[in-house]
A and B are shown apart, each in its own frame.
Chain A
Amino acid sequence: MLSVQHFGWKFLISSEWNPTQGNEHYGALLFIVGTLFTSILALIIALPMAFSTSLFIGEYFRNTRMASIVSTLVDLLAGIPSIIYGLWGFYILRPFIVSIGLSAQGYGIFTAGLILAIMIIPYATSLSNTSIMMVPNELKEAAYSLGATRLEVIWNVILPNARSGIAASYILAFGRALGETLAVTMLIGNANIIPTGLFSTGNTMASVIANQFGEASGLQLSSLIEIGLLLFVITTLINAAGKFIIKKMA
């Protein structure tokens, strides 16, 4: 690994990315920040929607026709390829964001986070469904018989019991968001700067690989591969955390 020899630990904390010949310097910090920023934003946006959908399927309309239709549609959402999300985001979502005046160009962390949120909803939903459904009926019935409303049952009985499953599903969805490539590449603006705000442009680890891999060679290629390694390590750690929580729950 050329880039490891060359930059050592500084690779992680340097935010300069300069491929100019003779003045090459590569650091991964800005991509790490960009990746975490978009993914966390996506998670925050996805949270209410995924949570509602899993309650819809797992509690309110459990085992009804409506629930099976909704869960099929949510599964379809998972089946849509990343590039289609990217195109849809680029041609529909981006002009929409420009037209409501949130940002001049429509590119940036917010747009990318929004499209990522849609992409990870199915992952966050499917596992929380099952854990919400697995809450024993006796517990719920006991609460109802004490005169609790449905909301109170959800809040005081279902949530504490399904807590770890729901948490694990969001962690796994977060891991999924970290590695998404093309949809983010098309929307984030690909500026090699540390993002300063919600509507600032930026870059992520996956999209810098996708963008620069074609022309890269030597030190730059090696740096891109090191970014790939970092991405692998981060996602694996996140996924392992999710799996650990599931195991503890079982």
Chain B
Amino acid sequence: MEIVNTQTKIKRADIFPDHFGRRKFKNNLFLGAVIFFSLITISFVFLIIGTLVVKGYHQINWAFFTQTPPDTFTAMMAKSSGKIIPGGIINGITGTLYLVAIASLIAIPFGILIGIYLYENSSKRYATFIRDITDVLQGVPSIVVGLIVYLWVVVHITRGYSVLAGSAALAIMMLPLIIRSTEEAMKMIPDTLKEAAIALGTPYYKVVLRVLIPTSFSGIMTGILLAISRIMGETAPLMLTTLGNPAINWNLTKPVSAVPLLIWQFYNDPNMVDLIWSSTLFLMGFVLILNLLAKWIAAKRNL
């Protein structure tokens, strides 16, 4: 049986003024534009990573992680006979890890201490000053950091390009990120927790070490990982401070290589083009993993 609808249908135009259709159209058009441009933005991530994977994967092999890069001639020979370029970027990998390790050793304790100071004395004049300086430091272009470290460390302390200089530059770039994340993480700690510890007569250093740092640990860790992933791919300051080294080096006062520096060298050498992509893929993978790890820790904290 069919139910007949006897009610007269009310048309939209009866309720809304004439131009409603146009307004609605504009509204939808704008939504479309927003989605379109957002898609363009995120498509760059896939485009870039996709390019790296497609062009870089066939150079990734055991030798890539265990050998130093070949000289131009060997690379040219391998290329002309259609083989993959022998050798790898072990000097870059060890160099990057070494630089990051030393930079972290310098920046993490200082960063956390300064962060705690800012949290504990947030309204003092000196703390505000330090906070402003940290902001300035965060905005300094990386190449300017490189220049400054060159003038101070390379010229006067190590008297030549060195691991120490490179680490100092990277540490300067890490500091503001760590200070900020420490302070933000500490702000999330409930005051009652701290007061409880103080009420028990705990000395101040123990309050910091046993209460403040453990409770804000995941926040600080996120900041540290993000800072490391940020400095890992830095090339410009390293060009002015560590220069590069064709062999593995563990001496603090001697030049060292790093993955981004090697990429720059390969880029300037037409025979090494294939190595560029695998090195970039490796660097990108490393940075990506650190980034996602930091995100994961941050997400776990918020649950």
- Chain B contacts of A239 at CB under 8 A? 135-136, 139
A113 contacts chain B at the CB level, 8 A cutoff: no
- Chain A contacts of B140 at CB under 8 A? 179, 232, 235-236
* Tier of interface size on chain B: 35 or more
Main secondary structure, interface of B, reads: helix
Q: How far is the CB of A116 from chain B (nearest CB, A)?
A: 13
A76 x B143 contact (CB < 8 A): no
From known contacts A80-B287, A151-B30, infer whether A175 and B139 are also in contact, taking CB-CB under 8 Å: yes
Q: How far is the CB of B61 from chain A (nearest CB, A)?
A: 21
- Chain A contacts of B45 at CB under 8 A? 73-74, 76-77, 80
B-facing mask of A71-109, CB < 8 A → 1, else 0?
011111101111111011011100000000000000000
Kindly report which residue of chain A lies nearest to residue B139, judged by CB atoms: A239
From known contacts A228-B147, A231-B144, infer whether A92 and B47 are also in contact, taking CB-CB under 8 Å: yes
B141 x A55 contact (CB < 8 A): no
In the bound complex, what is the Cα–Cα distance between A151 and B232 (angstroms)? 42
B295 x A206 contact (CB < 8 A): no
Q: How far is the CB of B31 from chain A (nearest CB, A)?
A: 7
Q: How far is the CB of A213 from chain B (nearest CB, A)?
A: 6
A81 x B260 contact (CB < 8 A): yes
B236 contacts chain A at the CB level, 8 A cutoff: yes
- Chain B contacts of A14 at CB under 8 A? none
Partner of A235, one of B27, B141, B229, B267: B141
Partner of A79, one of B30, B144, B287: B287
In the bound complex, what is the Cα–Cα distance between A51 and B34 (angstroms)? 8
A-facing mask of B66-105, CB < 8 A → 1, else 0?
0000000000000000000000000000000000000000
In the bound complex, what is the Cα–Cα distance between A240 and B136 (angstroms)? 8
Q: How far is the CB of B66 from chain A (nearest CB, A)?
A: 23
Main secondary structure, interface of A, reads: helix
In the bound complex, what is the Cα–Cα distance between A118 and B47 (angstroms)? 12
Q: How far is the CB of B118 from chain A (nearest CB, A)?
A: 16
- 17 inter-chain pairs at a CB distance below 8 angstroms, sorted by A residue, are A52-B33, A52-B35, A55-B34, A60-B34, A80-B284, A81-B232, A81-B287, A84-B48, A150-B27, A179-B144, A181-B143, A182-B235, A182-B236, A210-B239, A235-B144, A236-B140, A239-B135
Q: A147-B16, A175-B139 are in contact. List 14 more A-B contacts (CB 8 A).
A: A76-B291, A80-B48, A80-B287, A82-B234, A83-B235, A83-B263, A83-B264, A83-B280, A88-B52, A92-B51, A149-B23, A149-B26, A151-B26, A213-B147
Q: A interface vs B, CB < 8 Å?
A: 48-53, 55-56, 60, 70, 72-77, 79-85, 87-88, 90-92, 118, 121, 125, 147, 149-152, 154, 172, 175-176, 178-182, 186, 206, 209-210, 213-214, 224-225, 228, 231-232, 235-236, 238-240, 243
Q: B interface vs A, CB < 8 Å?
A: 16, 23-24, 26-27, 30-31, 33-38, 40-42, 44-45, 47-48, 51-52, 135-136, 139-144, 147-148, 150-151, 229-230, 232-236, 239-240, 260, 263-264, 267, 276, 280, 283-284, 287-288, 291, 295
